[in-house]
Structure 1
């Protein structure tokens, strides 16, 4: 049986693959198709909290850094929805997460190459590339882009408890009402944990107790300094990619707070809210428990007992709660699970697949297999971030075309990377 063949097939249509689809849309001679198992687009729906914002400039949208004239930019979205003047006049320091989700949905609705409600069930080698089988169709991909994203990271101690009373932060909004008048533990000291604690306190019907538990030594702010932002540039990605694996591991740890800290606005709002609770208003008791590790979770009389180790004093304590929110981040498999069938044809090094600078795997087969949001160990701290979304999409498209359709940024870093001759202020 002969199947339809495409130049590029994408698995998943999150922001990263959506960026590729948006930049491919004007290229009528490139046959492409993207399969997304969701029926409708929604970006982290369980954490679309009011008054939360994205941590990037609105210019770092799906397309602008690769093609500022593309009709799927955030500015084009504002213009099409007759709110451009009002948005500018509002003077928002950051774009709200709700509005950025509206933008992504607006783009998704206009891309006929993205098929919704289609889950990829099998990927197999084929003489012309890869055979892709979904719940509705089968096709041939000359090149494949996998953007399935990470999965919620559930600590081993909580794996058997996940449900209505113990749930990951990605399910927060769907379970929020059940937290009213309950004793709640939030495990995890990053941005999601901080936003959830702040949201619970500011709701009309509050939990009776809040225990925010974090293994971090403090409530650390996101590093958004100018030089830290140089790590989120194409020039730095190219530099990072060429380093030895041991050096990459060191840098990833050093750069952690540039992507894994709490935004200064959230820290300020949370501290001021805790001040009001302590001195000016009545509300739930809220403990900020830093430098602590939850070692075990036990069920007890309809609730849960958390056995906690204090890292600074080596003491132990227990906390009894009714509900637990796991703000424990996400976990990405070294190789996306959908590619397990061709894992034997992928080169690995130190347990991770080898990823080329153009985001393609070292793959022993016909065509190229690209991964997005799955190359942090090879490309650096910016890989899971929206900052380089459009550039990465353009890089992948250029690689498939074998030519530079989307021009490279042609910019030097302010940092001196490997003896670059660029000097600030030099002619």
Structure 2
């Protein structure tokens, strides 16, 4: 029977950062930790269908996989640039924000440096406790994507970091090649490359929606593009210095210690830093395009403000879309060649993989209680741990689903696994409970 110290479900940036933290610990440890990460994709991918040329990440490269934890790490973004021979050239760009494409290549480079710790093309299908009087292990069942063969592995610490799932509004169902989520944008839009005068409808007023609108307008010069969003206009992200500190690692402690009944209000107050907002440079660019087309008298870019997509059906090779004006409650029906839903992601709480473990988990208002250091609170006889990454924004704040604190969080989780106190607090002791559900958010790039 193979027993590992750590099994990770999913191998995106969160678990990649943890794998690196464990690997660096193992380099000098008397007793190295054994680990394996199980990923359903055939290779490391990170929002591959939103790697739009020139689109940049919204965080500093300093908040990479390791730097805030270990600035001397060989897995840093600067180490990647050095290895690629681009360190000085990047410095000449005078920016802290690399393109999303380059940061994705950095992630892949780091993942490729850990070839033995991840099993690709396999998906975890169930988790079962081992033992009755005392639960010291989890048995993790996983299935080979291609063959369907099922295997299992035993672990002391299970770390779930599967990311979000594409969110569609009620009454809207995806349809191949006609109605799709922004997470599949580039793969689906390729079919229109040689069409005549396509018409596109893009739903969503956040960064991804605005980027898609700009991409469609620039790459399909004969197309008409309709941008549909609920606000009066695109809202700029608040990136001011004081407010931006909400993305610092220390802010996790601040947020976690806020009274549970106040957390939702605080999230709403800070939403303009991250959700349903757009970089001001892109807002200005789109407005300039819109104005110039009015001057020329050939408008292709249309903004449908204070409007929502109420219904969409594919008929006669077109998408019949019902748009409702939020202001006057009037609805109109129009036809487009494609409808792209830039409507964000949702994260189930409790996580579906916890279904078999409900009897072992402590809940507060039907939600698992999660400690400050990301450990699910279990009954006293359970010694094996369940650790969640990216599923407790309501308890840990905005950074829980973002890149901002990956490296610091991975160190905290490592100390949790090693039973080492953090900030004089036991990492395995669940702290204050929370009384609000995990919110469904729109920001995608995590």
Q: 1:33 aligns with which of 16, 32, 36?
A: 36
Check whether the contact 1:147–1:371 (CA below 8 A) recurs between aligned residues.
yes
Deviation of 1:395 (Å): 0.8
Aligned positions of 1:18-417 closer than 5 A: 18-28=16-26, 29-111=32-114, 112-127=116-131, 128-135=136-143, 137-159=151-173, 161-179=174-192, 180=195, 181-203=197-219, 205-206=220-221, 208-260=223-275, 261-280=277-296, 285-364=300-379, 365-403=382-420
Query: Cα distance 1:257–1:351, how it changes in 2: closer, same or farther (>3 A)?
Result: farther
Tell me the alpha carbon deviations over residues 26-74 of structure 1, each in whole angstroms, 9 at most, x when there is no partner: 2221111111111111210010000100000000000111111111010
Output the TM-score relative to the length of structure 1.
0.89
Output the TM-score relative to the length of structure 2.
0.86
3-state SS in 2 of match to 1:184: strand
More off after superposition, 99-108 vs 356-365? 356-365
Structure 2 stretches lacking a partner, 5+ long: 27-31, 145-150, 426-446
CA distance in 2, matches of 1:314, 1:332: 30
Check whether the contact 1:184–1:207 (CA below 8 A) recurs between aligned residues.
no
3-state SS in 1 of match to 2:398: coil
Check whether the contact 2:390–2:400 (CA below 8 A) recurs between aligned residues.
yes
3-state SS in 2 of match to 1:221: coil
3-state SS in 1 of match to 2:177: coil
Check whether the contact 1:38–1:117 (CA below 8 A) recurs between aligned residues.
yes
CA distance in 1, matches of 2:118, 2:202: 36
CA RMSD of the aligned region, Å? Answer: 2.0
Structure 1 stretches lacking a partner, 5+ long: 409-427
More off after superposition, 125-134 vs 388-397? 125-134
The corresponding residue for 1:421 is none
CA distance in 2, matches of 1:71, 1:117: 27
CA distance in 1, matches of 2:231, 2:211: 16
Query: Cα distance 1:163–1:156, how it changes in 2: closer, same or farther (>3 A)?
Result: farther
3-state SS in 1 of match to 2:62: coil
CA distance in 2, matches of 1:92, 1:202: 24
Check whether the contact 1:240–1:378 (CA below 8 A) recurs between aligned residues.
yes
Query: Cα distance 1:176–1:9, how it changes in 2: closer, same or farther (>3 A)?
Result: same
CA distance in 1, matches of 2:130, 2:204: 44
Q: 1:10 aligns with which of 8, 11, 30?
A: 8
